[in-house]
């Protein structure tokens, strides 16, 4: 609505009061009223009385119409979705990430970690080894990462990392070395929960644990074949994930117990789904990988397929992904059992089939899982975690 001179009107030079333009539409009825009203302001001597009365009723009528118009427009503007523009709403505040516990982050550790050599677009940190797979998963080798940057990304997240280890029968003897060396090298500075599965809880040694590091002993029964002990880890890990680990940890790493840590094994291993390249086969063509080759097994892999041969001694990733992996492998093991077949390398064979179909998002180079019976080749700068030399005939339940 606007008040302005009416170009359509021929009423001399008189001032037009309350000319109403509703949007661009000139409403003639209202305009007529305004003209009459304007006329009424002209001195009475110029008009006869009868005419004045007539004009007055017009004036009242016009006035009523105008007030009605104002009311209608006002009501429409304030209530109608037809005419009104949607109101702006104040955006909700940024969602606050859920944290288990408040851990203060030291500003100086951040600023320190922000100063590091610039990554070079035209220079690969390692030219002697594969650092990325054809599906763009990182292969972690020494020289490819900077721990201070990795820690500045992961430490503020206040993560809890679960670690399962089985020590059944005579394997309880390996717990002490595993835990003592893990406390020196395994995800130091992170909240770690160890879950020790054993049939002999009394034989779990007391090892001094660092801050934010906890240990739970889970008592399980013993199987009488080492193959069964090794293979049924999938089922037991799956059950424990569903019973409690989903609530207790963010990531889960399942490791062999007859192993020792020798060097840093840190947050560079964290990813959605993590596999370790087996130290015995990383230079071999796929045809010689010890995959299960019998089509009757669920773990079957044909000769012309396969990426890497992965070790059964380490599986890891986000808890939900490890849950999916253990569920699939356990189901495949059960089907094989019904069909009276056991895969060549038990759960390791099923694991390799799984990783062929569900590509890992990060691969650990053999630095992260070494076999001490082999000499250290030049591409391995550090051995970070390796097998304990053991007398199989002596430690296993059966030969």
- In the complex, the residues that contact ligand UD2 under the rule CB under 6 A are 166-169, 171, 226, 229-230, 256-258, 278, 311-313, 345-348, 387, 396-397
Cβ 358 to ligand UD2 shortest distance, Å? 18
Cβ 383 to ligand UD2 shortest distance, Å? 13
Nearer to ligand UD2, 318 or 343 (CB): 343
Residue 269 C-beta-side C-alpha neighbours within 13 Å:
30
From the candidates 342, 348, 379, 397, give the one annotated as an active-site residue. 348
Nearer to ligand UD2, 77 or 222 (CB): 222
Residue at shortest CB range from ligand UD2: 312
Cβ 258 to ligand UD2 shortest distance, Å? 4
Cβ 314 to ligand UD2 shortest distance, Å? 8
Nearer to ligand UD2, 238 or 257 (CB): 257
C-alpha angle 292/297/302, rounded to 5°? Answer: 50
Q: Are 233 and 202 in contact (CB under 8 A)?
A: no
Cβ 396 to ligand UD2 shortest distance, Å? 5
Nearer to ligand UD2, 379 or 397 (CB): 397
- Look up 94 and say whether it is catalytic: no
Nearer to ligand UD2, 30 or 165 (CB): 165
CA-only gyration radius of the chain, Å: 40
Cβ 227 to ligand UD2 shortest distance, Å? 6
Nearer to ligand UD2, 30 or 231 (CB): 231
Catalytic center residues: 348
């Amino acid at each position: 609505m606007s008040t302005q001179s009416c170009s359509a009107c021929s009423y001399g030079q008189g001032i037009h009061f309350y000319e109403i333009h509703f949007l661009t539409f000139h409403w003639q009825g209202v305009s007529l009223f305004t003209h009459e009203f304007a006329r009424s302001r002209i001195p009475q001597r110029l008009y006869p009385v009868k005419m004045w009365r007539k004009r007055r009723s017009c004036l009242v009528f016009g006035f009523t119409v105008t007030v009605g118009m104002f009311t209608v427009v006002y009501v429409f503007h304030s209530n109608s979705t037809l005419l009104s523009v949607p109101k702006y709403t104040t955006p909700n505040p940024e969602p606050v990430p859920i944290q288990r516990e408040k851990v203060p982050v030291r500003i100086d550790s951040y600023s320190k970690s922000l100063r590091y050599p610039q990554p070079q677009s035209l220079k690969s940190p390692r030219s002697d080894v594969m650092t990325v797979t054809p599906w763009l998963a990182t292969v972690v080798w020494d020289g490819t990462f900077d721990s201070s940057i990795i820690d500045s990304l992961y430490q503020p997240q206040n993560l809890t990392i679960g670690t399962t280890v089985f020590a059944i029968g005579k394997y309880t003897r390996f717990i002490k070395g595993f835990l003592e060396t893990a406390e020196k090298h395994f995800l130091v500075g992170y909240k770690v929960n160890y879950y020790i599965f054993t049939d002999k809880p009394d034989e779990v040694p007391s090892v001094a644990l660092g801050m934010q590091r906890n240990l739970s002993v889970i008592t399980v029964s013993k199987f009488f074949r080492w193959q069964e002990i090794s293979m049924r880890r999938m089922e037991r890990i799956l059950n424990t994930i569903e019973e409690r680990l989903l609530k207790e940890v963010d990531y889960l790493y399942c490791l062999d117990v007859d192993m020792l840590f020798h060097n840093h094994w840190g947050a560079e291993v964290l990813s959605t789904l993590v596999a370790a390249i087996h130290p015995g086969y990383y230079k071999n063509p796929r045809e010689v990988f010890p995959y299960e080759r019998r089509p009757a097994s669920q773990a079957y892999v044909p000769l012309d397929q396969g990426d890497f041969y992965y070790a059964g001694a380490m599986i890891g990733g986000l808890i939900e992904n490890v849950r999916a992996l253990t569920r699939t492998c356990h189901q495949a093991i059960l089907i094989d059992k019904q069909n009276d077949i056991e895969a060549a390398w038990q759960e390791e064979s099923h694991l390799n089939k799984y990783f062929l179909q569900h590509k890992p998002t990060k691969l650990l180079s053999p630095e992260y899982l070494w076999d001490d019976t082999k000499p250290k080749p030049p591409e391995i700068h550090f051995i970070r975690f390796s097998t304990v030399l053991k007398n199989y005939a002596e430690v296993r339940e059966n030969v």
